[in-house]
Chain A
Amino acid sequence: MEPTIYASLDDVTLSFGEHVILKNCNLKIVRGAITCIVGLSGAGKSTILRLLDGLIEPSSGHVYVDGHDLCHTPERDLVELRQKTSLAFQFAALLDSLTIGENVGLPLREHTALPDEKIQHIVDDALESVGLRHVYDSLPNELSGGMLKRAGFARAIVTRPELVLYDEPTTGLDPIVTNLITDTILRLREKLGGTAVVISHDLHSIFRMADYVAMLFEGAIIAYGPREEIRTSTNPFVQQFLTGSEVGPIPV
Chain B
Amino acid sequence: MRILERFGEQTIAFLEYLGGMMALIGESIRSLVHAQIRYAETFVQAYELGIGSLLIVLLTSLFTGMVISLESAQQAVQFGIGSLVGGAVTYTSVRELGPMLTAVVVAGRVGSAIAAEIGSMVVTEQIDALRSMGLSPVRFLVVPRLLALAIMLPLLTVFADIISILGGMWIAQAYAHINPASFISSARQAVGFEDVVKGLLKALIFACIIAFVGCYQGLSTRGGAAGVGRATTSAVVISIILIFGTNFVMSYLLFGGH
Report which A residues bind B (CB closer than 8 A). 50, 53, 55, 78-80, 82-83, 85-87, 89-91, 93-96, 106-107, 110-111, 155
Subset of 20 A-B contacts with CB under 8 Å: A55-B131, A79-B134, A79-B136, A82-B131, A82-B132, A82-B133, A83-B134, A87-B128, A87-B132, A89-B128, A91-B125, A93-B125, A94-B126, A95-B126, A95-B129, A96-B120, A106-B133, A106-B135, A110-B135, A111-B134
Taking CB atoms, residues of chain A closer than 8 Å to B134 are 78-80, 82-83, 107, 110-111
Cβ of B124 < 8 Å from any Cβ of A? yes
The 8 Å CB contact of A110, one of B125, B131, B133, is: B133
Closest Cβ neighbor of B38 among chain A residues: A110
- Pairs of residues from A and B, 10 with the lowest C-beta to C-beta distance, nearest first: A93-B129, A93-B125, A79-B134, A82-B134, A87-B132, A107-B133, A89-B125, A93-B126, A83-B134, A53-B132
Interface size class of B (residues with CB under 8 A): 10 to 19
B130 cross-chain contacts in A, Cβ below 8 A: 95
In the assembly, what is the distance between CA of A107 and CA of B132, in Å?
A: 10
> What's the Cα separation between A55 and B125 when bound, in Å?
11
Instruction: Please report the C-alpha to C-alpha distance between residue A86 and residue B132 in the assembled complex, in whole angstroms.
Output: 7
CA distance A103 to B42 in the complex (A): 18
Complex Cα–Cα for A160 and B126 (A): 21
What is the bound-complex CA distance between A53 and B133, given in angstroms? 10
- Beta-carbon contact of B132 and A91 below 8 Å: no
The residues of B that contact A78 with a CB separation of less than 8 Å are: 134
Q: In the complex, how many angstroms separate the beta carbon of A66 from the nearest chain B beta carbon?
A: 15
In the complex, what residues of A have CB within 8 A of residue B125's CB? 89-91, 93
In addition to A82-B133, A107-B134, 18 A-B residue pairs with Cβ atoms within 8 Å of each other are A55-B128, A55-B131, A78-B134, A79-B134, A82-B134, A86-B133, A87-B128, A87-B132, A89-B128, A90-B125, A93-B124, A93-B126, A93-B129, A94-B126, A94-B129, A96-B126, A107-B133, A111-B134
Give A68 Cβ to nearest chain B Cβ, in Å.
14
> A94 to chain B: which residues have CB within 8 Å?
126, 129
Q: Which residues of chain B come closer than 8 Å to A91, judged between CB atoms?
A: 124-125
Chain A contacts of B129 at CB under 8 A? 87, 89, 93-95
Task: Give A93 to B121 CA distance when docked, in angstroms.
Answer: 8
**How far is A62 from B179 in the complex, measured between Cα atoms in Å?**
78
Q: For the complex, give the distance between the alpha carbons of A85 and B129 in Å.
A: 12
List the A residue with the shortest CB-CB distance to B135.
Answer: A110
- Which of A90, A94, A95, A111 has the most chain B CB within a 10 Å cutoff? A95
The residues in B between 181 and 231 inclusive whose CB is less than 8 angstroms from any CB of A are: none
Which residues on the B side are within 8 Å of A79 (C-beta)?
134, 136
